[in-house]
Amino acid sequence: MKYLILISFMLAAALPVRAQINTSADTPLRVIAIFAHPDDAESKMGGTAALMAEMGHEVKFLSLTNGDAGHHEKGGGALARIRREESHEAAERLGIAEYEVFDNHDAELLPELHIRMDVIRAIREWNADVVLGLRPNDYHPDHRNAGKLVIDASYMVIVPNVAPDTPPVANNPVFLYMQDRFSKPNPFSHDIVVGIDDVIETKLAGLDAHTSQMYEWLPWTAGRLDEVPEDPDERLDWLRQRWINREMSDEQRAGLEKWYGPEKASQFRYAESFEIAEYGYRPTDDEIRMIFPMLGN
C-alpha cells in the first residue's frame, strides 16, 4: 500500500501545477514582466503592455539590473540614474502601473540565491496572476540568468517556507516567455501572438524614452551612430523606420491566425509573441483570451 501511495505522489508531482486563476471581470489581472535591463520589456512586449493597461490590467515592469554598463561613454552610478529615469518615463508613456529597477550591476547578473529570493518576493508582493520572463537561452549572460531566476522562482512562489517574510501567492501564476530569435537548444514557440498595430506608436514612444539606448548605445554597437539624427522628431522617425521595416515570421503569422482568424490576422503589420512556460499554471485557451482580451474571438 505504501508503494502505491508513493507512486501516486510522484505522479502528482510530475504534473503541471494547476490552480484557479482570477476570472472575475470586476478584478483586473496583475501582470509582472521580469527581465535583465531597463528597455528589455519595451522592445519585446511594449505594445502588449500598453494594450493590457488600456484594458484595465495592472502591469509592472521589473529590471533585475540597473543598466550601469550599457553605454560606450557613460557608466556606473551616473548611467544607472539616467536609465532609471528613462524607465520611469517609459512607464508613463506606456501607461503601466509601475517600473522597478533593482540595483544589481549590469553585465554581472548571476542566478544567485539572494536574487532569486528578491524575485520571489517581487512576484508575491505584486500578487501576480501572470509572470513574463526571458528564455534562458540568449546571447547575453544577463538575459540568460534573468530567465533562470524567474524559472527558479516559478514554483517557489507558492512555498510558504521559502522567503517566509513575504506571504506566498494563493495560486501559482501563469508563466510566459517573451519572444526571442534563438533556435538552440530549441526555437521559440509562438503560442500566443498579439497584434499591436493600434499601439505601435505607443510602443515606439516607450522605446523613445530610452534615449541612452535607442539613440546612443545600441546604434554605437551596430556601427550606426553617425546615422542618428540630432533633432528629437527626426530621431523618433528614424526609430520608427527601423521597426516598420521588420518582417513578421511565418510562425508568428500562423499564431496570429490561430487567435484572430485568417482574415483579421492578415491586416496586422506588427505583433508580439509569447510562449507558455512548462511551469506554473497551464491556462486553457479561454483563460488565455481572458488574460489577453485583445485577442480575437
Contact of 133 with 146, CB cutoff 8 Å? yes
User: 297: pLDDT confidence band, cut at 50, 70 and 90?
Assistant: low
Asked whether the beta carbons of 146 and 34 are under 8 A apart, the reply is yes
pLDDT (0 to 100) of residue 243: 84
Reported confidence tier of residue 89, pLDDT bands at 50, 70, 90: very high
Q: Are 145 and 99 in contact (CB under 8 A)?
A: no
pTM of the predicted protein model: 0.92
**How much is the pLDDT for 246?**
86
> Which of 3-7, 103-107, 229-233 has the lowest average pLDDT?
3-7
Residue that the C-alpha cell 542618428 belongs to: 228
Contact 118, 160 (CB under 8 A): no
The residue to which cell 483579421 is assigned: 264
Q: What is the mean pLDDT of residues 82-102?
A: 98
Reported as a single tens digit per residue, the pLDDT across 31-45 is: 999 999 999 999 999
Question: What is the CA 129 to chain-centroid distance, rounded?
Answer: 14
Q: Distance from first CA to last CA of the chain, Å, rounded?
A: 49
Q: Say whether pLDDT at 219 is over 90.
A: yes
Which residues in 127-146 are b (16+ Cβ under 10 Å) and which e?
ebbbbbbbbbbbeeebbbbb
Identify the pLDDT of residue 244. 83
Residue 126 pLDDT > 70, yes or no?
Answer: yes
Instruction: Give CA–CA dist 154/130, Å, rounded.
Output: 11
H helical segments located in 154-261: 200-208, 211-212, 218-221, 232-244, 250-260
- The one-character DSSP state at 68 is T
pLDDT above 50: residue 5 = no
CB atoms within 10 A of CB 256: 24
Question: Above pLDDT 70, what percent of the chain?
Answer: 91
29-291 domain in CATH 3.40.50.1820? no
